[in-house]
Amino acid sequence: MQHSTGNEAKETRRPVVLQILPNLNGGGVERGTIEMAAALKDAGWTPVVVSSGGRMVYELDRIDAVHVTLPVASKNPFVMRRNVRRLRKVIREYGVDIVHARSRAPAWSARAAARKEKVPFVTTFHAAYTRGGFLKNFYNAIMAKGDRVIAISNFIADHVRTHYKVPEDRLVTIPRGVDYHKFNPAAVSAERIIKMATDWALPDGVPVVMLPGRLTRLKGHVTLIEALARMKTREFLALFVGAGEGREAYRRELNDLIERHGLQGRVQIKDYCHDMSVAMMLADVVVSATLVPEGFGRVSVEAQAMGRPVVATAHGGSLETVLDRETGWLVPVDDPDAMAEALDEALGMSPEARQKVAARTRQFVIDHFTIEKMCARTLEVYRDVLAAKQDPYDQ
């Protein structure tokens, strides 16, 4: 790639933003990176993404964004040190103007490379990282070292202020966004819904409770099963969707719990889902039962974009993404009784009430949590960083 030289050419060429993350194998961080790369292209900028690769790389190829494969998922100190040299080469080769780190391990190498090349460094805090001893906290603190530190919710921003003392002029809150064009009931055909319902052998007329997410204890599957066990007189089918392979010991534990409560057939694990927008059309209520606070809570927002009420645990980002008793129900963490009560209310709504909630949930997402808003505000951060013309060594 050739780059113009000289001050005039430098001012007129397209700015180049390098985003760096461990891999592109799926997840909210990965999705946001690709969405931002697409927004950069649309804005006339040049996106570069550095990762160790993964199945989502093809999405970058599809938008003609640059992807550079480096071993940046490694936490090995020697590999991380070598990555500094590799990243400096990438910065020079592509004429990078901003380095944006989205995860801790690659952020250590990225910051060192950016400082040596005198390029501004931006970070995004995607989670409230677990606190520990000195080394753990020191490792986490790299995400607070950006010239701008982006928090994905007010919850995360408060965490950053409290534990990392980031000045207000460097901290900005930009909520995550979802694709409300894709997660749109009007965009899902009856044929797609019928096919998935048939593939999953769903019985007609039975209300569906859905918990999307990986098969991990922190997602609160046990809490939901315990809540459903308190609702045996109400008809329902509960689906754990997108669980994926592995976690066999935990899977057996869940199946044993389902059997002990006599919920066989009424609670099912669906390992794979290629289209969550269709899956959510099959749901009457979507559950986020997380036992630990999530930074944002993408599932709840996607469900609301689909016009589905949600039952979510009242902590973390859910306090911002769910309006209690307007777009869903907020319940205490790991409280099966409260969850059962909320689910009973959700499943007992009249068609008229359900229609009103659907309109309210979707408008709430459009007003606050779209990809367009997320990307536009991130571009503003990039412009501010470039306009400041500050030497990164001054930080």
Q: What is the mean pLDDT of the chain?
A: 93
- Shared domain for 352 and 376, answered yes or no, is no
What does the radius of gyration of the chain's CA atoms come to, in whole angstroms?
22
How far apart are the C-alpha atoms of 144 and 147, rounded to whole Å?
9
Percent of the chain residues topping a pLDDT of 70: 94
- Which pLDDT score is estimated for 80? 97
Residue 11 has pLDDT above 70, yes or no: no
- Which pLDDT score is estimated for 214? 87
**Domain membership of residue 109 as a residue range:** 7-177+371-394
- Which pLDDT score is estimated for 151? 97
- Which pLDDT score is estimated for 393? 44
For residue 1, being part of any structural domain is answered with: no
Please give the model's pTM, rounded to 2 decimal places: 0.89
61: region left, alpha or beta (phi > 0 left; psi from -120 to 50 alpha): alpha
- Shared domain for 228 and 143, answered yes or no, is no
Residue 139 has pLDDT above 70, yes or no: yes
Size of the chain, expressed as the number of residues it contains: 395
For residue 352, being part of any structural domain is answered with: yes
Q: For the domain that residue 134 is a member of, what is the CATH number?
A: 3.40.50.2000
> Which range (7-16, 199-208, 250-259) has the least confidence?
7-16
| Burial environment of residue 58 by CB neighbours within 10 A (0 to 12, 13 to 18, 19 or more) | exposed
- Shared domain for 281 and 328, answered yes or no, is yes
Query: What are the pLDDT digits (tens) for 280-292?
Result: 999 999 999 999 9
Query: What are the pLDDT digits (tens) for 154-174?
Result: 999 999 999 999 999 999 999
- Which of 224, 237, 229, 214 has its CA nearest to residue 333? 224
- Shared domain for 54 and 160, answered yes or no, is yes
For residue 39, being part of any structural domain is answered with: yes
- Which pLDDT score is estimated for 354? 95
Residue 246 has pLDDT above 90, yes or no: no
For residue 200, being part of any structural domain is answered with: yes
In sequence order, the 6+-apart residues with CB closer than 8 A to the CB of 140 are 104, 129, 131
Bigger pLDDT: 214 vs 364: 364
- Considering its fold, how many domains does the chain have in total? 2
Give the helix/strand (H/E) hosting 291.
Answer: none
For residue 209, being part of any structural domain is answered with: yes
Bigger pLDDT: 48 vs 390: 48
Average pLDDT over residues 184-191: 96
- Shared domain for 336 and 305, answered yes or no, is yes
Compute the C-alpha angle 207/209/215, nearest 5°: 150
- Shared domain for 383 and 247, answered yes or no, is no
- Which pLDDT score is estimated for 389? 60
For residue 162, being part of any structural domain is answered with: yes
- Shared domain for 18 and 157, answered yes or no, is yes
Query: What are the pLDDT digits (tens) for 206-228?
Result: 999 999 988 999 999 999 999 99
- Shared domain for 326 and 191, answered yes or no, is yes
Residue 256 has pLDDT above 50, yes or no: yes
| pLDDT band at residue 390 under the 50/70/90 scheme | low
Average pLDDT over residues 136-142: 94
- Which of 369, 366, 377 has its CA nearest to residue 318? 369
- Which pLDDT score is estimated for 9? 42
Q: Is 269 helix (H, G, I), strand (E, B) or coil?
A: strand
- Which pLDDT score is estimated for 199? 94
Average pLDDT over residues 113-121: 97
Q: Cβ of 78: how many Cβ atoms within 10 Å? A: 8
For residue 2, being part of any structural domain is answered with: no
Residue 2 CA neighbour count, 13 Å, CB half: 3
- Which pLDDT score is estimated for 12? 62
- Which pLDDT score is estimated for 26? 79
- Which pLDDT score is estimated for 8? 41
- Shared domain for 213 and 131, answered yes or no, is no
| pLDDT band at residue 243 under the 50/70/90 scheme | confident
- Which of 75, 65, 67 has its CA nearest to residue 43? 65
Average pLDDT over residues 258-271: 95
- Shared domain for 54 and 94, answered yes or no, is yes
For residue 20, being part of any structural domain is answered with: yes
- Shared domain for 33 and 13, answered yes or no, is yes
Which strand ranges, in their side-by-side order, compose the sheet holding 148-151? 66-69, 46-51, 16-20, 98-101, 121-125, 148-151, 171-173
How far apart are the C-alpha atoms of 215 and 241, rounded to whole Å?
9
- Shared domain for 201 and 344, answered yes or no, is yes
